Amino acid sequence: MPKKLKILVTGASGFVGRSFIQQFADRDDLEILGIARRPLPMPNYISLDLTHGIDIPFHPDAVIHAAAHVSPWGRKKDFLANNVFASEQVIHFCERNNLPRLIYLSSSSVFYQDKPQFDLTEDSKIGPEFINEYAATKYEGEKRVNQYRGESVILRPRAVFGPGDTVLLPRILAAAEKGRLPILDNQAGAAIGDLIYIDSLCEYMLKAALDKNISGEYNLTNAEPVEMHSLLLDVLSRLGLPAPKHHIKVSTAMTLATVLENIYKLLSIAKEPPITRYGISVLAHSKTFHVEKMLRDFGPPSVSMRKGVERYIQWKMQDAAR
């Protein structure tokens, strides 16, 4: 029997990590082990806290580091612990285990500024100011990976969506259901944005783990920018959720979000404010990417935006019917 390629996946209880394992669990040529903090009744899964180090009897050929504290809001120490220190622990594990190929799931938010940005590339400016602690600490993680002595790839997916999503669309849909989703009046015009469907992202992750010709940094999208407001209205309509009715200027929304964030910080409230500057910025400002490098080395996404949206809506309807 040919040797199976061993892949360790961190963050295996999260949206991306768990989706990757489910998508490729039946591959005869792969042996996949998932690790994450949350206990789960999953096969080939170990519950552990990355910040305490990794001590497991598994010697992978590749490590996909998808674990992260993903939130537009939170305490700086939590982001540092889970996005920087945890990444250091993953690298230490790799260094003790014959330098397996390391795939780091970063984020396109490392580029974000509070303004429209078009045709961002892998060489676009990053920092020194970041839109939030999540973006800042994901970039710190990138810097740690770039010091790794083994082979490495940094992937920066943009706005991942699909069945199992816990971050992007659920926040927006929940706000719409409660009547709290406003229409942002933007002098710059309708926001255009890139997204990437989860199955396509997982296929890119596997290719990065298998193909030694792939290295460096990659921005990953569906290569189909969409008008964000129209996309959201379409999803809301097809799910039977109320469309937003109340208009608010972007500048006013930003002021309100800033005041709320300052109050939450002053009172040490751990819960995320009902609106954040990051959330407003994502909906108000265009973010598009030039992904020639992705298309050249990975090929086009296997699932189009249209099919991805259809699959997401079907999943939401089935989930609601349970």
pLDDT digits (tens, 9 = 90+) for 25-74: 999 999 999 999 999 998 999 999 999 999 999 999 999 999 999 988 88
Say whether pLDDT at 187 is over 90.
no
In this structure, what token pair is assigned to residue 176?
């719409």
Q: pTM here? A: 0.94
Which has more pLDDT, 206 or 190?
Answer: 206
Which region among 14-23, 68-77, 119-128, 163-172 has the lowest average model confidence (pLDDT)? 163-172
Sign for the pseudo-dihedral over CA of 152, 141, 45, 219: negative
Task: Quickly state the pLDDT bin for 1 (edges 50, 70, 90).
Answer: low
Say whether pLDDT at 88 is over 90.
yes
Say whether pLDDT at 322 is over 80.
no
pLDDT per position as a tens digit, 243-287: 888 888 888 988 998 899 999 988 888 888 888 888 888 888 999
Counting Cα atoms < 13 Å in the Cβ hemisphere of 202 gives 21
Closest CA to 159 of 271, 275, 251, 279: 279
Please give the angle made by the CA atoms of 175, 178 and 183, to the nearest 5 degrees: 55
Q: Specify whether the CB–CB gap between 58 and 8 falls below 8 A.
A: yes
Q: Specify whether the CB–CB gap between 98 and 107 falls below 8 A.
A: no
